[in-house]
Structure 1
Amino acid sequence: MADASPSLRDSGAPVRVWDGPTRIVHWLLVALLVFSWWSADDYLTWHRWSGYAIIGLLVFRLYWGFAGGEASRFAHFVKGPRAVLAYARSLGRREPSTTVGHNPLGALSVLAILASVLVQVGTGLFVVDIDGFEGGPLSFMVSFETGRRMADIHELSFRVLQALVALHLAAIAFYAVWKRTNLVGGMVTGRRKLPGDPGLARAPLWRLAVGVVLAATAAWAVSKGFWL
């Protein structure tokens, strides 16, 4: 959940906040999670390949949280309890916050969703179906009983993820109605209206290249069961 930007009545000019890699990963993750949900029952081969792609996206986003543009770094938006509580007290006021990027509450949402997706793909690697014929790429490493427990956790974590996404959508609606702030537009264009340019640092292209290689390598290695 990105932070509120000034309302349309403000005269602040749109400035760049979110870099391209962050926005691309965000929307690809949305699309692949929906696709994985759709393919889970009848298209298991596609479901697996979607999972491999999600693993690559997660690896990249975690890497980008340390090496990416300033607004995308965890150190930029993850705050302590005091900052979270202080921001929560401001939600009842209609004036927007000028925090750049994710606000302290939004940061908790980002971390919770990332953790939930990590559990999803992590357990999916070891899942075994009820008949023992189908399984994740690393299911050969565990017993049938463990594989079934992983399947139960896989299902439960998806329900948790659904709840987190519903909360995320509710927050977007709250900002649109109460704060008169278009959060979705900022994640599409990368820009939002601010009183002034925050001068966020961008990541050099070589860091992007390293992240892409790491993500592709991780997805490929998992798809091969780490038998490189």
Structure 2
Amino acid sequence: MTDAVRVWDPLVRIFHWGLVAAFATAWLTADELQPLHEIFGYIVAGLIAFRILWGLFGSRYARFTQFLRGPGTTVRYLSDALRGREARYLGHNPAGAVMIVAILLTLSGTAFTGWLIADPSRQALQPELPPIVTTAQADEDEYGESGERGGEREEVLEEMHEVFANLMLFLIALHLGGVAFASVRHRENLAHAMVTGRKRPPEPGDIA
């Protein structure tokens, strides 16, 4: 592809594949290697923070202002895609933009709940959970009630952490399906473009 144009800058590509590796490692080590799981959780959090900053101050196609579209544009794009007449976007298409936001939010929730779980003292930062106690528990002494609340809080956080992680797996599946669909529809390997940073130049009707 000698006439290809540069779309994804090196930092976007490093972020993308670094996030893939970090999340995969964190997920695979969740039950067996907790210290490693936490380390890669922090790496995921750092990558998210970087991407948000780069989305504000980075290169053209990395910026949120370049690819984030309104709900109407996104719905029209999806409708056109179902009819096989969607426009080709040189950067992220509207569906891909929604996916990026969903992934960043989901990973932020995963990282934050994991951070709270890692040190119980941090859980004081979380708003008080509604008390869920039985009538019998309400008769317990103050120490028992306090211990129950602490255990309940951590249990809820762990469940939230797992929900976020499972939602992330679902989003990954959707993302891979969308990449495959767009690659076939527009006759270009989007995964390879995220390695090289280059894509086919815009043609008439494409949105650059």
Q: Shorter-chain TM-score category? A: 0.7 to 0.9
Say which of 19, 23, 28 aligns to 1:29.
Answer: 19
Kindly report which structure 2 residues correspond to 1:147-226, keeping only aligned pairs within 5 A, or say none: 147-195=154-202
Query: What are the superposed Cα offsets for residues 183-218 of structure 1, whole Å, 9 maximum, x if unpaired?
Result: 10111111100137x9x9xxxxxxxxxxxxxxxxxx
1:77 matched residue in structure 2: 67
Cα deviation, 1:168-196, whole Å, max 9, x if unaligned, reads 11112212333323110111111100137
Structure 1 stretch displaced more, 76-85 or 90-99: 90-99
Partner Cα separation in structure 1 for residue 186 and residue 202 of structure 2: 16
Distance in 1 (CA, whole Å) between partners of 2:177 and 2:26 is 22
Once residues 80 and 95 of structure 1 are traced to their aligned partners in structure 2, the CA distance between those partners, rounded to angstroms, is 19
Residue 48 of structure 1 aligns with which residue?
Answer: 38
Task: Tell me the secondary structure at the aligned position of residue 147 of structure 1.
Answer: helix
TM-score (norm 1): 0.73
Counting helix residues as a fraction of each chain, which structure ranks higher?
A: 2
Aligned partners of 2:90 and 2:202 also within 8 Å: no
Taking only the aligned residue pairs, the percentage that are identical comes to 35
Please say if residues 16 and 190 of structure 1, whose CA atoms lie closer than 8 Å, have aligned partners that are also in contact. yes
Partners of 1:98 and 1:194 within 8 A in 2? no
Task: State the alpha-carbon separation in 2 of the partners of residues 139 and 16 from structure 1.
Answer: 46
Distance 1:13 1:104 in 2: 25
Structure ranking higher on relative contact order (CA contacts 8 Å, 6+ apart):
1
Relative to structure 1, is the Cα distance of residues 173 and 189 closer, same or farther in structure 2, using a 3 angstrom cutoff?
A: same
- Contact kept, 8 Å, 1:116 with 1:157, in 2: the verdict is yes
- For structure 2, list consecutive stretches of 5 or more residues without a partner in the other structure: 124-149
CA RMSD of aligned residues (A): 2.1
CA deviation after TM superposition for structure 1 residue 13, in Å: 2.2
SS of the residue aligned with 1:90? helix
CA shift for structure 1 position 157: 0.8
What TM-score, normalized to structure 2? 0.79
Taking the TM superposition and a 5 Å limit, the aligned residue runs for 1:123-162 are 123-127=113-117, 136=118, 138-142=119-123, 143-162=150-169
Max Rg structure: 2
The aligned amino acid for 1:113 is I
Measure the CA separation in 2 of the matches of 1:172 and 1:141: 38
Distance 1:117 1:58 in 2: 8
Aligned twin of 1:62: 52
Query: Retained in 2: the 8 A contact 1:25–1:61?
Result: yes
